[in-house]
Amino acid sequence: MSTRPWIVDDDLWALIEPLLPPWPERSPGPRPVPDRLCLQGILYVLFNDVAWQLLPLELGFGSGQTCWRRLDRWQQGGVFDQLHRLLLAQLNAADELDWTRACVDGSHVRAKKGGRRETGPSPVDRRKAGSKHHLICDGKGTPLHVITTAANVNDITQTLSLVDGIQPVAGRPGHPRRRPESVLGDKAYDSTAVRRELRRRRIMPVISRRGAPNIKGLGKLRYVVEQTFALLHQFKRLAVRWERRLELHNTFIALACSLICWRRLKKPQP
């Protein structure tokens, strides 16, 4: 990884710039900080988990308040959700998505500043306020969809929401793809109703049952979701939830998922 991973290269900027909402032609006040520099400031926060007011001015990003407002503006426009879908389509076109299976899992994070939405007492962190990231990835570990809930929400309740939350992925001939052939889960996802609903969606459930031995070989196939969580939480801003506003936290998640996709797209092929 680059020693300055927040620097946006030309190829990535060429994808992001058309997605950004335009500024009014006659905007009052001083000339705004360029979008590219603001994005780099946002990435600096995502990678290093610094407070907005401590963003280094000497790097040219503008003030932390400037970058925060730009992030809020882009969140309202769904910029990084669009970017994630665009990069998934490019990976799909390059045959880099494995639709034969998808893996689901959940991971707790501390919510340092609480928040009115999607925080609750964590069952794994002495009942301190926390949130949980619920993730579905393809068979290669590419993140397809992430949901944030309170820390005390059971994984099983989000299974169908994760599956249904996968946006249509273009990039190949025919209709955009949005359904994996199978869903893999551990015993936390054991539910007759969930199995029935997955089959109704023409998806094969591969989920270990409580009180029975684990499905042979399932762990070797599911390790990719743990790997994806490790990649997601390498972005220090996501390892702990600081945003009180859920939509801003989810915007950081969408940006992180996009960067994971971008790295895979740019990875040299053997």
Rounded to whole angstroms, how far apart are CA atoms 79 and 87?
12
Cα four-point dihedral sign 42, 48, 52, 56:
negative
Residues 215-242 have pLDDT tens digits of 666 767 788 999 999 999 999 999 999 8
Kind and range of the H or E run holding 79: helix 79-93
pLDDT of residue 267: 81
Q: For residues 94-117, give the mean pLDDT.
A: 88
For the entire predicted model, the pTM comes to: 0.91
Is residue 176 over pLDDT 70?
Answer: yes
pLDDT of residue 125: 75
Kindly report the average pLDDT of the chain as a whole number: 89
pLDDT of residue 22: 85
Range with lowest mean pLDDT among 97-101, 143-147, 194-198, 211-215: 211-215
Rounded to whole angstroms, how far apart are CA atoms 108 and 41?
26
Residues of the chain with CATH 3.30.420.10: 99-242
What CATH superfamily classification does 99-242 receive? Answer: Ribonuclease H-like superfamily/Ribonuclease H (3.30.420.10)
Helix pair angle (218-232, 246-266), 10° resolution:
110
Tokens of 57: 């001015």
Are 109 and 232 within 8 A, CB to CB?
no
E strand spans, 112-177? 120-121, 129-138, 143-150
Helix (H, G, I), strand (E, B) or coil at 217: coil
pLDDT of residue 259: 97
pLDDT of residue 253: 97
Query: Is residue 30 very low, low, confident or very high in pLDDT (cuts 50, 70, 90)?
Result: low
User: Which of 56-60, 144-148, 171-175, 222-226 is most confident?
Assistant: 144-148
pLDDT of residue 32: 81
What is the percent of the chain with per-residue pLDDT over 90, rounded to a whole number?
64
Classify each residue of 25-35 as buried b or exposed e, where b means 16 or more C-beta atoms within 10 Å of its C-beta: eeeeeeeebeb
Q: Which residue has the higher pLDDT, 114 or 133?
A: 133
